[in-house]
Structure 1
Amino acid sequence: MINRKNVARVAGVGAAATIAMGLFSTGAANADTFVPLPGGEIVKHLSDGTVVTVRLVGESALISPSLGSTPVHRNAWVSGSAQVELSGTGAEAGGKIFPGYTVGCQVNIAGGGAEGGVEAGSDWQGESPSIGASSGGNLSLGPGQATSFYILDIEEADDFGNEAHKKRNKFKGSNGSVTWSDSTIGLSGCGGYAQARAFVSVEVETDNVVTWVTLWGQPFSLG
């Protein structure tokens, strides 16, 4: 398994990551394949007049052969930027951004494939819904299995001063973003084809509405 340092750059305003297209190779048998991805956008109109726009930009993946040189091991490094814009009634409400990836082994993840997944753009009340994701991108999956993980692991103190780890970036005002570079997806145990896709889930709470919006990226092959 290749271990690279994950880098998450968190900003309070929207930012776009730029990517270069090409193929990086260290030899015919050890080619790293660069995959540019289209990202996406979703717009949700809330019942109180707030408009939530979520974008995934600058998305890419670098697929690398496993050091183990076996078909059950795969490695990828993923990059992208999640951007959120609020307008209308609750334009200054702020929110929380949860970026991550769903990975599947011999399973169709075109519909998301995340256990406990929340329908994009749904309004809800109460505790934050879960997309069924854990932290960390080192995964072990068998045929027909899919799982999800969050990119962020932000260390901060809880209400009692103890160390806590958060899977989201919290922003104030009308704009927020999270950018990640070379975050690792390490998959083992999958003897068949494997796919992954990004997701960006956003929680927004205005004076009248609590909403959870999920944007899915395009699936891409891990080999």
Structure 2
Amino acid sequence: MSNINIRPRRELRIATIAAAAAVALGLCSAGTANADTVVPLPGGAITKTLADGTEVTVTMTDESATVSPSMGSTPLHRNVWVSGSAKVEISGGSGAEGGSIEPGYIVGCQLALGGETGADAGIGAEWKGAAEPAAGGAGTVSIGPGEAASFPILDLEEADDFGGESHSGEHSFEGASGSVTWADSTMGVEGCAGYAQARSYVNVTVDTENVMSTVTLWGQPFSIG
């Protein structure tokens, strides 16, 4: 089993990230960003059977978010620390050769990111038609009203074929199981002049002797103010 633990350094916090406007969301279970607010999240699990009979189970546990006020006190900035653990187990079929685990978050500004968890939860009709700006540098995403962005948790470095640095948001594993744990990963959101939501996802790509397939587990949406 291949495991990885991610614990980013606190210096990734950005001094200019400010508190969000306190707008409650009916679909979410979280509080607002007027003070540090710890949001426990339920995680989830899914099991999918691939075409060759291979059974893939993805679970997410110990998921939480801490919505933190910033020093600037402007409604355009938010800061969130996220934690969780994802695990994949593969059985049956033609035999597991390994795969990869990619955890991350979808962040939306004035968008509904859906309300259910699991494999078929999706991310809401509004998101599907929204713009998809890329994540910004230094642990931030920049989005405006009606926009959403993906925020990868992992940033794994390795040498490429030419001796330079290569970065990846996927943790590779061999065999029938693998896991990833992240703790207090900083996620800054800039530019959203309205309510903002986030929800976790875990993309697991599995290789067997006959099939390559990706299984996605969605977490529960939560408000970040």
Q: Deviations over 1:46-84 (max 9, x none)?
A: 111111111111100001112111111111100001100
Of 107, 112, 131, the match for 2:123: 112
Tell me by how many angstroms 1:165 deviates: 0.9
| Equivalences for residues 74-113 of structure 1 within 5 A | 74-110=78-114, 111-112=122-123
The two structures have a TM-score, normalised by structure 2, of 0.75
Look up the match of 1:43: 47
Superposed CA RMSD: 2.4
2:202 pairs with 1:200 = yes
SS of the residue 1:198 aligns to:
strand
Look up the match of 1:4: 10
Of 60, 70, 82, the match for 1:56: 60
SS of the residue 1:218 aligns to:
coil
Query: Which residue identity lines up with residue 74 of structure 2 in the other structure?
Result: T
Q: Runs of 5+ in structure 2 lacking a partner?
A: 1-8, 13-32, 115-121
SS of the residue 1:31 aligns to:
coil
Q: Runs of 5+ in structure 1 lacking a partner?
A: 7-28, 117-130
Query: Which residue identity lines up with residue 58 of structure 1 in the other structure?
Result: D
Q: Bigger CA drift: 181-190 or 131-140?
A: 131-140
Distance in 1, matches of 2:76 and 2:222, equals 17
Distance in 2, matches of 1:98 and 1:71, equals 31
Look up the match of 1:22: none
Query: Which residue identity lines up with residue 198 of structure 1 in the other structure?
Result: S
Distance in 2, matches of 1:185 and 1:33, equals 15
Tell me by how many angstroms 1:161 deviates: 3.4
Query: Which residue identity lines up with residue 189 of structure 1 in the other structure?
Result: G
Greater fraction strand: 1
- In the TM superposition, structure 1's runs of 4+ consecutive aligned residues that sit over 4 Å from their partners are 113-116, 131-136
The two structures have a TM-score, normalised by structure 1, of 0.76
Tell me by how many angstroms 1:139 deviates: 1.3
Distance in 2, matches of 1:115 and 1:81, equals 26
Of 206, 220, 223, the match for 1:221: 223
Distance in 2, matches of 1:215 and 1:133, equals 21
